[in-house]
Amino acid sequence: MTQIALDGQILEINSTRVSPSVEIREEDMTGQASGTDGSEQGDKGIVLAVSGLVSFKRARVLKQLMKLSRATENGRRKVYRIGNETAKTLTVRQVRFVGQISADEQEKLMAWKVSFRLREYLSVTEAKQQKEQAKAQELTVQTTENTTAATAKSHAAVTSETAQVTQTSFEAALIQKESQLA
C-alpha cells in the first residue's frame, strides 16, 4: 500500500496510486519547413497525480484533504513537505496542490474516489539555476569591490596648468645618486 504524507500528516487513502509526469517544453524552430529543429523551453517541475479511495466511514480524511488543498501562507498556496516513496525516488521534496481536486462517490464500494495533483515546488533544476545565478552575481560583486574609481587627468597639451610631480623617497634618492655619478 502506497502512503502519502504532507508535512507529517498521513493521508489515509486506500488503493493509493501516484503517477508522476514532467513536461519538457520545446518550440518548433522550423516554421513551415520540414526540419526537426526546436528550441528548448526548459524542464518544468514534476507533477504527481494522486488517486485512491476514502471510505464513507472516514469522512474526516476527505475533510482533511480539502482543508490541506485550500491552505495558504502569506497569500500564496501552502507548500508541503512530502513523504512518499515515488516522490523520494524522483527527489521531490516539496509540493503544492494544483488543478482540480475531485471526490467522486463510488456507491458499490461505499467510498469516494479522490484524485488530485501535486506540483513540485523548488525543483532540483530550479534550485540549481538559482545557485548558479547567485554565484554569478557574487562573482560580479567581487570584481567591482576590488577596483577603484578612475579619475580623469587632463593631458598637458590640453591644459595650461602645470602638473606638480610628487616623488617618492626612493625616486628622490635615485635622482640624487644619478647627479652624483654624473
- Please check the confidence at residue 23 and state whether its pLDDT lies above 90: no
Note the pLDDT of residue 16.
94
pLDDT: which is higher, 22 or 32: 22
CATH number at residue 75: 2.40.30
| Domain assignment of residue 114, yes or no | yes
Cross-strand bridge partners of residue 6: 9, 82
- Cβ atoms of 12 and 54 within 8 Å: the answer is yes
- Please state, in angstroms and rounded to a whole number, the distance separating the CA atoms of residues 88 and 23: 19
Stated pTM of the model: 0.63
* DSSP-based three-state secondary structure for 47: strand
Residue 158 lies in a domain: no
What is the mean predicted confidence (pLDDT) over 70-78? 93
Which amino acid would we find at residue 176? Q
Under DSSP, is residue 163 helix (H, G, I), strand (E, B) or coil? coil
Given a cut of 80, is residue 26 above it in pLDDT?
no
Nearest to 82 by CA among 46, 122, 118, 128: 118
What tens digit of pLDDT does each residue of 94-121 get? 999 999 999 999 989 999 999 999 999 9
- pLDDT at residue 141 above 80? no
Number of structural domains found in the chain: 1
The residue range of the domain holding 72 is 4-24+41-125
> Would you say residue 57 lies in a domain?
yes
Give domain status of residue 35, yes or no.
Answer: no
5: which residues sit within 8 A by CB, 6+ positions away?
11, 82, 83, 84
Largest CA distance in the chain: 117
